[in-house]
Chain A
Amino acid sequence: MSLRQANSYKEGSFIDRPRHTCALGGALFTLRALSRVIPIIHASPGCGYNVYTAFNAGAGYLGGGYCGGAAWPSSNVVENEIVFGGEDRLKEQILSTLELMDGDLYVVVSGCMVEMIGDDLLTVVASIKDSPAPLLAVPTPSFKGNSYDGYDIILEGLFEGLTRRQTRKEKGLLNILGIVPGQDVFYRGNLSELKRLLEALGFKVNSFFGDGEDISSIRRAARAEATILLSDVAGQKAASFLEDARGVPTLKLPFPIGAQETENFLKGVAKALGLRDSKVQKLLSFENRRYYEYLERAADIYNDIDLQRYTVIVADSNYAPSVSNFVSEELGFVPVLTVVTDPLTEEKQKEVLLRFHSSGDLPRPLVRFGTQTSDSARFLREAWAPVSNHRYSFTLSPGLVIGSVYERELAEDYSLPLVTLSFPATNRVVFQEARAGYLGGLTLASEIFTTLVSGR
């Protein structure tokens, strides 16, 4: 398959039912995921609430949290400001926010309209001398990028504003980047699982958005020994900033799901950080034993009723390769099509393609890149044209679709069960559960099998 054929995304073309939001959206949900941070939105009325609605519903009902949803401070600029400029209104909004909202950090972010009229956030913020907590400004207009970019833009802004270059690093301290709150519906559970494993190896972990963390984790980011980057796309800019400007090297590893990938992940970290092999082996043998004791439970039913499935996967560039590898290498399923949904340049697509393993007798699955929601159906039609209309001819069965709620139509068309895992996932309420690591892999396997036996 040539890459050109696979590429349906053209830079800046229209998007059918997008699976992501704008830079402002990514920034706001990154801030929402940090403890006690108060965003101040400089934008039209509606921008904040619109993004909130998207993530609340799409990210497994994430909720507004401490200061989110309808409670986000926002300048709500209208026609008057377009004509006369919105900087005065912004200053008024910042000053009143500092008086009224109680937070550890205030961050001014912006929507398209105020950037189009040329408001200068940085100047306005610089003019405010008296703030109960640090006050930063990071321009995040929608037209500058999508929500994955917004995550990068805001984190780079926070690292720039809150850290200094540290000559002495803190031994064993690691940052984790590349998991985008909200776009990754399971972000918090994933971070918590990876943190659990790294801590078991003796590391200290800044996951920034994890259980019990607050903005001191951002402040400590420049003291880390390394930044683990779990994405080919998100977090790249923020990690580069930490590397170039703060001297924290980046260690890029695949987003791990299940025993095999997680083992590789832990070995990768250990090797790069010079950890003793025996320490790693001890953890791996404990984790692997537990993992397979559980997975083995499914062996009887798996073989009794043939749970092996042809699989269609629709997810972003973090999940698509990892889930594809997981179902083929660990569950023995046959991925027939994997659609990568985030907007990627050709160069990025090449990188992402390398993440897909070919396993045993199985060739690499067909990988297509499609930001458009209707792409998946088209790709599947192309990949799996019915041979004949004969009743007993070979069809895409037994099969399984792993994707978002937008894949319901596709799943219904082929009469296949659907497991949702990518954004938007309006059909699930997600708390602490993970899809990454050992425990995340088990949860995913259990959900897949549960779905397959749910009619019983």
Chain B
Amino acid sequence: MTLEQKHHESATVGQEVIIRERRLGALLTFQGKGSDLMKLAKENPEGCCHDNYFNQCGDCSSQRAMLPISQIRDAALVNHAPIGCASDLGQFNAQHRRGLRYNAIPVQNIRALSSNLTEKDLIMGGENKLAAALEEAYRRFAPKAIFVTTSCASGIIGDDIEEVTLNAEEKLGIPIVPIYCEGFKSMVWTTGFDAAYHGIVRKLVKPPRERRNDIINIMNFSNQHAFSPLLAKIGMEARYLVHQASVEELAHISEAAATGHMCETLGTYIAASLEKLYGVPELKSPPPYGSLWTDLWLREIGKITGREKLVEKVIVSERKRIAPELEAVRKKLEGRTVFAFGGASFCHNMLALAHDLGLKIVGMMGFHHDMTFDNDYEEIISLKNTLTLVGNIGSYSVCNKQPYQMIKILQDIKPDLVMSRHESLPTQAVKLGIPTFFAADANILGGYDGVVTTGKRILGAIKSRNFVKNLSAHSREPHSAWWKKQKDPFYFAKGKRL
């Protein structure tokens, strides 16, 4: 696909989003230096997505699409799937309740149904059942919109989701938003984020009534309002999206002055879509992690909204404000080594932060890698930004959430600290006795205050290692003696095939 085609297709409002393997040349396996990956992306922007011939369970588009939309506070969700695909609604419910409480919105459970496809439906088709589930969701929850997420099963039997949702839309008089996120379609589960945002842009976002020069969209994971105090200093407001947002709020995200994101992996697709369809510019800067990137981020906002002078003043005063505390934290962290793993671009953010704190970066592992992003702006290529900021990264790997590889790499590098995002995986480091800092709430790490806060929390993690030490002394690794002796974590990507 040429770049031009890619641009055209990615941000239009066709039925389905193009999967990341095709759209962004996403990779799932790589090992080398950071600069090697950069070079590879230049030489081969279409990538070559292949997987290992031993795999541990990863993640799927469906799960990643369902999480953000289950958090939209006055919509309902119908998962058109066998019951198992709705398994983690309980977890999403816990997350939603926490988010609502934090945002001082009346706390309620998520509103979600499974169409519960059974063996009979897989033979006879599940369209009637979906129609019934949509009506039921409307009756039970009185939602402002209903999302429908698809599944491997609904995809294989070929249910006509467009038709069912259009009919229901007519009957119920609210937007019914199909999200095409069948797990088998993409090996790259972050395609699910794109699928969710695609549905939102396609069905919910309306053309702008006005342009709000004081509002910025922030695509983020958990809606902590950590950027608001900083933005207030330049007279701006953040609209945190999409968790705990309302359908009405989503309708008007086309009116913002710009779209920023806390992670390019998460937000660049919707940012590019809003730019192409409604002229909302995507911020051409790295996200605000670490002092320098926060400077760049504020300057870009200043440039777009005509607040350049004010921004420069704020940068000087903010930097001055945090300087004493930052200096003290840096001194205490000096010389400590850090390894990061997480979604590719958020890993880059954590490294920018680690660099600002004076930690020594010894490597990172991204869960996939996008060779390009939807907007071809040099300024948003997170790998390039990272290498420019922190220098080359000696041990850079891309690995699709595979603990057997993670353990080997960590055993080899033995960092003082692991920084991570993505639940359940830091356990692998803990079992090796390595303290971890988990970026549970990505927003808290952002901005100038985020640097100091994170530094202090890392100090805490390094200082008291007793839990980690105790557990590592008593945990068992499920790998064979042969694998423990194997030198190459990527043996199963390169070794002889069956």
Residues on A lying within 8 angstroms of B by beta carbon are 12-18, 20-25, 38, 41, 44-58, 63-64, 66-67, 69-79, 81-82, 88, 91-93, 95-97, 99-103, 111-113, 116-117, 132, 141-144, 146, 373-374, 405-406, 408-409, 412, 423-424, 426-427
Which residues of A lie under 8 Å from residue B90 when comparing CB positions?
17, 54, 57-58, 405-406, 423-424, 426
> Per-residue CB proximity of B80-112 to A under 8 Å, as 1/0?
001111111111011001000000000111101
A46-B60, A144-B119 are known contacts. Are A77 and B184 too (CB-CB below 8 A)? yes
Inter-chain residue pair count (beta carbon < 8 A): 256
Q: B136 at the A/B interface (Cβ < 8 Å)?
A: yes
**Does B473 reach chain A (CB closer than 8 Å)?**
no
Cα A111 to Cα B151 in complex, Å, equals: 12
Q: A96 contacts which of B84, B118, B492 (Cβ < 8 Å)? A: B492
In angstroms, how far is the closest chain B Cβ from the Cβ of A270? 38
Q: Cβ of A51: which chain B residues have Cβ within 8 Å of it?
A: 84, 87
Q: Chain B residues near A24: list those with CB within 8 A.
A: 84
Contact A49 B58, beta carbon cutoff 8 Å: yes
Contact at B54–A45, with CB atoms within 8 Å?
no
User: CA separation between A407 and B153, bound complex, in Å?
Assistant: 30
Q: Pick out which of these stretches binds chain A: B371-379, B381-389, B478-486.
A: B478-486
Q: Are A73 and B56 neighbours in the complex by a CB distance under 8 Å?
A: yes
Closest CB of chain A to B81's CB: distance in Å? 8
CB distance from B170 to the nearest CB of A (A): 20
Is the beta-carbon distance between B63 and A50 smaller than 8 angstroms? yes
CB distance from B49 to the nearest CB of A (A): 10
Q: B residues within 8 A CB of A45?
A: 55, 57-60, 183-184, 187, 189
B479, A101: Cβ atoms under 8 Å? yes
Q: Is the CB of B57 within 8 A of A76?
A: yes
Q: Is the CB of B94 within 8 A of A426?
A: yes
Residue among A14, A88, A405, A408 having the largest count of chain B Cβ atoms under 10 Å = A14
> Whole-angstrom distance between the alpha carbons of A409 and B11 in the complex?
39
**Contact of A53 with B58 at beta-carbon distance under 8 Å, contacts A71-B403, A113-B156 already known:** no
Inter-chain contacts of B97 with A (CB < 8 A): 408
Tell me whether B117 and A18 are in contact (CB under 8 A): no
Chain B 54-85 per-residue mask, 1 if CB under 8 angstroms from chain A, else 0: 11111111110000000000000010001111
A117 touches B55 (CB 8 A): no
Mask, B417-445, CB within 8 Å of A = 1, is 00000011101100000000000000000
Q: Note all chain B residues with C-beta closer than 8 A to A88.
A: 498
Residues from chain B with Cβ under 8 Å of A373 in the complex: 109
Distance between Cα atoms of A76 and B56 in the complex (Å): 8
Tell me the smallest distance from the CB of A56 to a CB of chain B, in Å. 7
Q: Kindly state the separation between the CA atoms of A358 and B109 in the bound complex, as whole angstroms.
A: 34
Contact with A along B467-479 (1 / 0, CB 8 A): 0000000001011
State how many angstroms separate the Cβ of A62 from the closest Cβ of chain B. Answer: 11
Q: Ordered nearest first, which 9 A-B pairs have the shortest CB separation?
A: A46-B60, A22-B84, A48-B57, A424-B90, A54-B87, A96-B54, A74-B57, A142-B82, A142-B84
B61 touches A46 (CB 8 A): yes
Inter-chain contact B483/A93, CB cutoff 8 Å:
no
Q: Could you tell me if A78 and B93 are in contact, using CB atoms closer than 8 angstroms?
A: no
Name 12 interchain pairs, CB-CB below 8 A, sorted by A: A15-B116, A22-B83, A46-B57, A47-B84, A50-B60, A56-B91, A56-B424, A97-B54, A99-B480, A100-B483, A111-B152, A143-B82
Question: Quick one: given A12-B118, A45-B60, A101-B479, are A426 and B184 in contact (CB under 8 Å)?
Answer: no
Q: How many B residues face the partner with a CB closer than 8 A?
A: 75
B132 adjacent to chain A (CB < 8 Å): yes
Interface residues of B in 243-269 (CB under 8 A from A): none
State A424–B96 Cα separation when bound (angstroms).
15
Instruction: Decide: B183 and A46 in contact? CB cutoff 8 A.
Output: yes
The interface residues of chain A lying within 8 Å CB-to-CB of B53 are: 92-93, 96
| Nearest-neighbor residue (CB-CB) of A97 within chain B | B54
Shortest Cβ distance from residue A327 to the other chain B in the assembled complex, whole angstroms: 24
Closest to B498 in A: A92
Question: A50 is contacted by which of B54, B84, B133, B423 (Cβ under 8 Å)?
Answer: B84
Please give, as numbers and ranges, the residues of chain A lying within 8 Å of B187 by CB-CB distance.
45, 76, 78
B331 at interface by CB-CB < 8 Å: no
Residues in A with CB closer than 8 Å to B189 are 45-46
Closest to A51 in B: B87
Residues A101 and B480 in contact in the complex (CB < 8 Å), given A47-B57, A47-B183: yes
**B156 contacts A18, C-beta separation under 8 Å:** no
B113:A16 contact, CB within 8 angstroms: yes
- Tell me the minimal C-beta distance from B96 to chain A in angstroms: 11
Q: In the complex the two chains form, is A69's CB within 8 Å of B183's CB?
A: no
B88 and A53 contact, CB distance less than 8 A: yes
The answer to whether B122 touches A143, judged by C-beta atoms less than 8 angstroms apart, is yes
Cα A101 to Cα B115 in complex, Å, equals: 36
Contact A82 to B184, CB < 8 A, known contacts A15-B114, A17-B89, A20-B83: yes
B401 at the interface (CB under 8 A from A): yes
Contact (A18, B86) CB under 8 Å given A64-B424, A100-B480? yes
Inter-chain CA distance A116–B91, complex, in Å, is: 28
In the complex, A70 Cα to B425 Cα: how many Å? 7
User: A79–B184 contact, CB under 8 A?
Assistant: yes
* Chain B positions within 8 Å of A52 at CB level: 57, 424
Residue pair A426, B89 in contact (C-beta under 8 Å): no
A53 and B93 within 8 A (CB): no
Tell me which of A38, A95, A116 contacts B122 (CB under 8 A).
A116
Please give, as numbers and ranges, the residues of chain B lying within 8 Å of A53 by CB-CB distance: 63, 87-88, 91, 423-424
Please report the C-alpha to C-alpha distance between residue A21 and residue B116 in the assembled complex, in whole angstroms: 10
- CB pair B404–A14 under 8 Å, yes or no, is no
User: Within the assembled complex, what's the spacing in Å between the Cα atoms of A76 and B185?
Assistant: 11
> Is A71 touching B56 in the complex (CB atoms < 8 A)?
yes
Smallest Cβ-Cβ distance to A77: which chain B residue:
B184
Q: How many Å from the CB of A42 to the closest CB on chain B?
A: 11
Contacts of B122 in A (CB 8 A): 112, 116, 143
Asked if B51 is at the interface of the complex by the 8 Å CB criterion, the answer is yes
The reply to whether A57 and B88 form a contact with Cβ atoms under 8 Å apart is yes
A sample of 9 more A-B contacts (CB under 8 A), given A45-B59, A54-B91, A102-B479, is: A14-B78, A14-B113, A46-B63, A49-B60, A54-B89, A99-B482, A408-B107, A408-B109, A427-B94
Would A66 and B119 count as touching, CB distance under 8 A? no
Would A54 and B110 count as touching, CB distance under 8 A?
no
Which A residues are CB-close (under 8 A) to B59? 45-46, 49
Question: How near does chain B come to A154, taking the closest CB pair, in angstroms?
Answer: 14
Whether A58 touches B404, Cβ cut-off 8 Å, given contacts A70-B425, A74-B56, A76-B58, is no
Which residue from A91, A112, A374 sits with its C-beta under 8 Å from B140? Answer: A374
Q: Which residues of B are found within 8 Å of A426, using beta-carbon distances?
A: 90-91, 93-94
> In the complex, A88 Cα to B120 Cα: how many Å?
28
A383 to B426, CA, bound (A): 47
In the bound assembly, the distance between CA atoms of A133 and B7 in angstroms comes to 52
Q: Which residue of B lies closest to A374 (CB)?
A: B140
Which residue in A20, A79, A103, A412 is a CB contact (below 8 Å) of B478? A103
In the bound complex, CA of A76 to CA of B404 (Å): 16
Supposing A51-B87, A112-B153, A426-B94 touch, asked if A93 and B109 sit within 8 A by C-beta, the answer is no
Asked if B497 is at the interface (CB within 8 A of a chain A CB), the reply is yes
Residue on A with the closest CB to B122?
A: A143
With A16-B113, A44-B183, A76-B51 known as contacts, the answer to whether A102 contacts B87 (CB < 8 A) is no
* Complex contacts, B140 vs chain A, CB 8 Å: 16, 374
- CB atoms of A69 and B87 under 8 A apart: no
Residues of A within 8 A of B85 (CB): 22, 50, 142
Which residues of chain B are near A44, meaning CB under 8 Å? Answer: 60, 152, 183-184
Instruction: Give Cα distance in the complex from A76 to B55, angstroms.
Output: 7
Closest approach, in angstroms, between the C-beta of B143 and any C-beta of chain A? Answer: 13
Task: Name which residue of chain B comes closest to A73, CB basis.
Answer: B56
Q: Is B186 an interface residue (CB 8 A)?
A: yes
Contacts of B403 in A (CB 8 A): 70-71
Assuming the contacts A12-B116, A116-B156, asked whether A17 and B51 have C-beta atoms less than 8 A apart, the reply is no
> Contact mask B33-58 → A, CB, 8 Å, 1/0?
00000000000000000010111111
* CA gap between A51 and B55 in the complex, in Å: 17
Contact residues in B for A73 (Cβ distance below 8 Å) = 54-57
